[in-house]
Amino acid sequence: MDWTWILIGSLAILTGCWWSLSRRHADQQARPSLRNIPPEYLKGLNYVLNEQQDKAIEVFIKMLEVDSDTVETHLALGHLFRRRGETDRAIRIHQNLIARPSLPEDERFLALLELGMDYMSSGLLDRAESLFKELAGTRTYAVQANHKLLEIYQQEREWDKAIDIAQKLQTLNGHNLDPEIAQFYCELAEQNLTAGSKTVAQQHVRRALTIDPDCIRASLLEAENARLEGKIGLALKILQRVEKQDPDYLPEVVAVIVACYRELGQVDDCMHYLQHIVSKYGGMTPLLYLTRLIEETRGEKAAIAFISQELKRRPSVRGVDKLIEYVLGMAEGEIRDNLQTIKEMTAKLLSSSPVYKCKHCGFDAKQLHWHCPDC
């Protein structure tokens, strides 16, 4: 426990109350003296120095008279406790503040907001939700309260409620939340697909694409539903839509695109499509799939020549790893041993390297998330 922080905080509270008292008696004294300091504060300070934290906090809370001079001190102390992870103490402070009938309305609303965040930090989401709903009806804290409700509904996976709140927020602050709302509809679609309700799932997917036509996830879900219904050609067209929505996501759909072409018996068309993707956008995933198809149709030497040429233009660890894999089959003796050593090194590099990076905060991940865990 950082007792230095507690001591500084206690002294700050003590100083604030000391000067508050001195102002009230300014007609009697020109400046405060030790006689103005309430004995309870000296008692509380003694508890701090003797590392009796609970008793010290109790004294300081009781001695904080709630008026225009001390509300900010209450709020600051509660906020600091919450940041330190001591949410029980933060809750006690904010509850003590709210319990005062003389507290002005605006300051009560602010204390309710802080208490709601205390409850969220403690995992008491039902209590937090109740407070934020109350604040959502106020003019001053409607936006903040609705943002907190949106966080709660996402944690609780209550997507219908999340959609309602996000739409309210768009009206309140004018920010475009359509991409997030589309993701909520995708969550509903996945829930219905898991439950076997394909028709309802498809309705949610269409709603997502209506709200955000560039929603890649909705396209993937729509294509998956088409494949489940045996509509492979339709699934392929939907997946090829991704190139127009956001070409950065093409590596995510290449595997399914290739699978669709195979099911349709159109391997040559698949190779032409992949060549177009590689030439226009690059990317190792489509390159490796194209190399594999060249190996199947033209042989291993043709595949090695192709990937070697591409690696000269766009070097990458994944590409080198695949090239070594091809060459290992032809090598012998010491050359094979050396190549095997290099292969092990590239494998380690690939296993330790992140696959995805958040564009906003730089968070690295192995798995694609629609909502960055760090953001």
What tens digit of pLDDT does each residue of 267-298 get? 999 999 999 998 898 888 888 888 889 889 99
Q: Based on the number of CB atoms within 10 Å of its own CB, is 318 exposed (0-12), middle (13-18) or buried (19 or more)? A: middle
Q: What is the spatial distance between Cα 286 and Cα 290, in angstroms, rounded to a whole number?
A: 6
**pLDDT score of 314:** 73
Distance between CA atoms of residues 23 and 39, nearest Å: 19
How many angstroms separate the CA atoms of 75 and 90, rounded?
9
In the chain, the percentage of residues whose pLDDT exceeds 70 is 65
- Contact in structure between 136 and 120 (CB atoms under 8 Å): no
pLDDT, tens digit (0-9, with 9 covering 90-100), for 182-238: 999 999 999 998 888 888 999 999 999 999 999 999 999 999 989 988 999 999 999
Q: Please say whether the beta carbons of 284 and 318 come within 8 A.
A: yes
* 304-332 residue pLDDT tens: 888 888 777 776 666 666 666 655 566 55
pLDDT of res. 58: 65
Mean pLDDT of 86-100: 86
For residue 98, count other CB atoms closer than 10 A to its CB: 19
Domain range list for the chain: 176-246
> Which tens digit of pLDDT belongs to each residue from 118-128?
999 999 999 99
Question: What fold, for 176-246?
Answer: 1.25.40
What's the pLDDT score for residue 327?
58
pLDDT of 11 strictly over 50: no
Work out the pLDDT band at 77, boundaries 50, 70, 90: confident
Give the integer Cα–Cα distance in Å for 53 and 59.
10
Are β-strands 364-365 and 356-357 bridged in parallel, bridged antiparallel, or unpaired? antiparallel
What would you report as the CA-atom Rg of the chain, rounded to the nearest whole angstrom?
31
Contact criterion met (CB below 8 Å) for 285 and 251 = yes
pLDDT in tens, 337-351: 555 665 566 666 557
pTM of the complete model: 0.70
